[in-house]
Amino acid sequence: MWYNLLELGKRKVIFVVEKNKEYILDIVAQGYEGEGIAKIDTYPIFIPGALTGEKVRVKIIKVKKSYAYGKVEDIITPSVDREVEKCTYYKRCGGCSIQHMSYKKQLDFKWERVKDCISKIGGLSEELVSYPLGMDINPYRYRNKVQLPIGKVNGEIAVGFYAPRSHNIIDIDTCLIQDEIADKVAVLTKEWIKKYNLEPATIDGEFNPNGILRHIMIRRGFKTKEVMVVLVATTKNIPYIDEFKKLIIENVKEIKSIVLNINSKNTNVILGTECITLYGSDTIQDYIGEFKFNISPLSFFQVNPIQTEVLYNKTLEFANLSGEEVVFDAYCGTGTITLFLSQKAKKVYGVEIIEPAIVNAKENAKLNNVENAEFFVGKSEEIIPDLISNGIKADVIVVDPPRKGCDIKLLEAIGKTRPERVVYVSCDPSTLGRDLKILEEQGYKTIKVQPVDMFPQTSHIENVALLVKDC
């Protein structure tokens, strides 16, 4: 229960918010994860599945000192932007949190979120943020990779996704944002587990030390149509593994690789470091633009290949290369952006702390006959100053950090390096806003922020920002 005392003239009015009680509320805003926000006095109530402008009947399910969570019981006045959810698992699965929005509303929501982060966190004008570049085709079935946990729920085998904010597996037969082949493999895997009574490594959300099966991962090359299936297990000794291989080979004609990945630890990390190829090739291939990439079980590869081209072309546009520039690509991963930059740069230096990623990056450069790219293993904030001390000066620096944003030492190194332009690729608007503010303090001016919708039906949004040296 929450109380708020409000003075109205000489009267004192007490507002009460109680758990399990129902209220009729007006939705006045959207939260960062797409949830509707209502207020009783100034007290915010977060309501997943509600849209701005709607009047809803809500049951309060959690009450805290400064906020509460509610569940929609009835939509009294629906928004014109509301859509009927296409997925039957939508309200239970933790994947697509904004599927109830029209796609135009999704883009509007993401635009407002980016503008809010850029202005409130970054201290910059929201006018710098362009409207998101969305998918021109149907914004479903766009993911080329899925990782499905395997477990036992109430005594039954479940292969699917986790419920929101939990490790409870929602058993599913189809996911509308994944490639159709992933649905097929998931169903086949579940059939195999049930037929041979195999033990999963999770029971009712808890780690099972006697279990052997953890996840099934499916990767699909959208242009090549090649399929990789990765079975994640706690041990190399999997009963009836030949039957599994046969089942996949006979039913998935595009199969090119079946891999066993070993992860025996009680951890939330999905993949272990050891991979054993059971069938076919160690990798599959796919394209981004004209570039071909080898994709291993452990490789990072953008999950929406259609929008990845949009994102990378925008990055190349912002870099504004003439063919004479030296470029540093920090957090280069497997070199996907590096190769795109190599098309118009004199020389590109890619830096990544994960050594296997750099091995893949070098292989990808060789695969595409790219000779003006060089890769280094290490921290960007250490490697880049070393390159500079060796007489290599960048005209452009591109950064594509993880969700936590750039290391402060790298941002300071960029300030000291003083390239003409910085292109910042970000998967989190909040950390982007924070880092743009720091770069502005380092002597740079933010020119433009372009959101790119890589993840329709979810609250996530990618961004590309252009900064120039402020002389």
Strands 227-233, 213-220: pairing is: antiparallel
Burial class (CB in 10 A: 0-12, 13-18, 19+), 421: buried
Helices (H), 39-162: 103-120
Identify the active-site residue in 87, 332, 406, 427: 427
> Phi/psi of residue 303, each to 5°?
-85, -15
Contact 92, 84 (CB under 8 A): no
Q: Tokens 């946990």 correspond to what residue?
A: 149
Q: Is 471 a catalytic residue?
A: no
Residue 4 neighbours by CB distance under 10 Å: 13
The residue among 274, 280, 215 whose CA lies nearest residue 253 is 280
Burial class (CB in 10 A: 0-12, 13-18, 19+), 425: buried
* CA dihedral sign, ordered 50, 53, 58, 61: positive
Task: Enumerate the β-bridge partners of residue 407.
Answer: none
Residue 60 neighbours by CB distance under 10 Å: 20
Task: Enumerate the β-bridge partners of residue 217.
Answer: 147, 230
Distances (CA, A) of 153 to 234, 296, 382: 19, 31, 47
Write out the two tokens for 27: 């939705």
Residues 209, 265: Cα–Cα separation, whole Å: 9
The set of catalytic residues is 427
